[in-house]
Copies of this chain bind each other. A is one copy, B any other.
Amino acid sequence: MSMNSFGHLFRVTTWGESHGPALGATVDGCPPGVAITESLIQHWLDKRKPGQNKYTTQRREADEVRILSGVFEGQTTGTPVQLMIENTDQRSKDYGDIAEKFRPGHADITYWQKYGVRDYRGGGRSSARETAARVAAGGLARAALATLAPEVQITGYMTQIGPHGIDRDRFDWDQIDQNPFWTPDAVAAAEWADYLDGLRKSGNSVGAIIEVVARGVPAGLGAPVYGKLDTDLAAAMMSINAVKGVEIGEGMAAAMLTGEENADEIFLGNDGKPVYSSNHAGGILGGISTGQDIVVRFAVKPTSSILKARQTITKGGQAAEIITKGRHDPCVGIRAVPVGEAMMACVILDHILLHRGQIGGAVGETRGRIG
């Protein structure tokens, strides 16, 4: 009943608060024999790290990960891997003003109501800082995938910021790493830069949509009916701070399609594996991977900490107006890209292990042969 844990066989427990001494991930169930170093994990943390450009919070954290257990002579041992990140920049004085007032749209008030504890230092456990631990765990998951299923490739990118979406016709995989928004559409990137500049100056924030794609995932992963691959992905993405919607393949738009339109027709590929005419399904049928790309999208709401005055109440029950100063992201969705990738990596690895336990055989080996 560990509610700070996710995963079945690759099980990640995150711990730590925004302004405590440290935070981290206790990862249980990583297979032995996976080559891993701190710098391999650091690579992904650096991608998420705040303060890298003017579109993300100016809080500066080294976000240096230490491996405290589970690794010996450069390889995992099969025992729990403890990944710790010390908090270095804990300027909690910035938050003095919100010790009493609840921020509209923020978890301040519900944490207070539930736990009766007001950890006003940057949101405590509800802070997006918790996602650093997810990214660290995701780095380990990627390393394990590199050993067990090297053909799996996981890439996240932004498709929408506020009213501005990408143009799929301009989709370019190579563009993703070339702009601060990890978007495959260079034109959109330029547009967003201007748009966010304006927002930031006005002290406002905005939501975003992130898409994460896993390519090279073998058919057969997923554990119907309550550990379906899409079920676990939906939970993984919805658990990320500020996420309000999750879609697989066509997502909500599937409601608008007819059965004829939605049917991804099946052909036999040259390698004897099924080939599909389209991917409305997002790579998952009946909760099980088809071998096509796994496509997940999620929407992140705008940061609730803004410079715009909003009505609220205090812990003492008084009406108040609140303006949240401090260092916040005008679009927290940007930093959600590596987080979404990390969750995808963890879920895919977990289901590879689970499939192996339930069905046996090598990864990517399916029981039912076609042809």
In the assembled complex, 8 residue pairs joining A and B whose CB atoms fall closer than 8 Å, in A order, are: A3-B227, A16-B68, A78-B114, A105-B280, A252-B299, A259-B302, A265-B310, A353-B358
B33 touches A367 (CB 8 A): yes
Among A113, A319, A353, residue most surrounded by chain B Cβ atoms (within 10 Å): A113
Chain B CB within 8 A of A178 CB: no
User: Using Cβ atoms and an 8 Å threshold, which residues of chain B touch A37?
Assistant: none
Which chain B residue shows the least CB distance to A235?
B235
Chain B CB within 8 A of A49 CB: no
Which chain B residue shows the least CB distance to A158?
B255
User: Using Cβ atoms and an 8 Å threshold, which residues of chain B touch A185?
Assistant: none
A104 touches B263 (CB 8 A): yes
B235 touches A33 (CB 8 A): no
Complex interface bits, A329-346 against B, C-beta within 8 A gives 1, otherwise 0: 000010000000000000
Copies of this chain present in the complex amount to 4
A43 to chain B, nearest CB (A): 21
A370 touches B315 (CB 8 A): yes
- The CA-CA distance from A316 to B274 in the complex, in Å, is 12
Interface residues of A in 208-264 (CB under 8 A from B): 208-209, 219-228, 230-235, 237-239, 241, 244-264
Chain B CB within 8 A of A63 CB: no
Which stretch of A20-28, A52-60, A168-176 is in the interface?
A20-28
- The CA-CA distance from A262 to B17 in the complex, in Å, is 25
- The CA-CA distance from A105 to B261 in the complex, in Å, is 10
A254 touches B301 (CB 8 A): yes
Q: A1-B11, A15-B26, A368-B117 are in contact. Are A259 and B356 (CB under 8 A)?
A: no
A239 to chain B, nearest CB (A): 4
B5 touches A366 (CB 8 A): no
Chain B CB within 8 A of A6 CB: yes
Interface residues of A in 351-370 (CB under 8 A from B): 353-360, 362, 366-370
A162 touches B15 (CB 8 A): no
8 further A-B pairs in the complex, CB-CB below 8 A; given A162-B257, A245-B248: A5-B5, A32-B359, A79-B124, A109-B266, A109-B370, A207-B256, A263-B308, A265-B312
Q: A255-B208, A306-B260 are in contact. Are A371 and B317 (CB under 8 A)?
A: yes
Chain B CB within 8 A of A31 CB: yes
Chain B CB within 8 A of A9 CB: yes
- The CA-CA distance from A128 to B14 in the complex, in Å, is 25
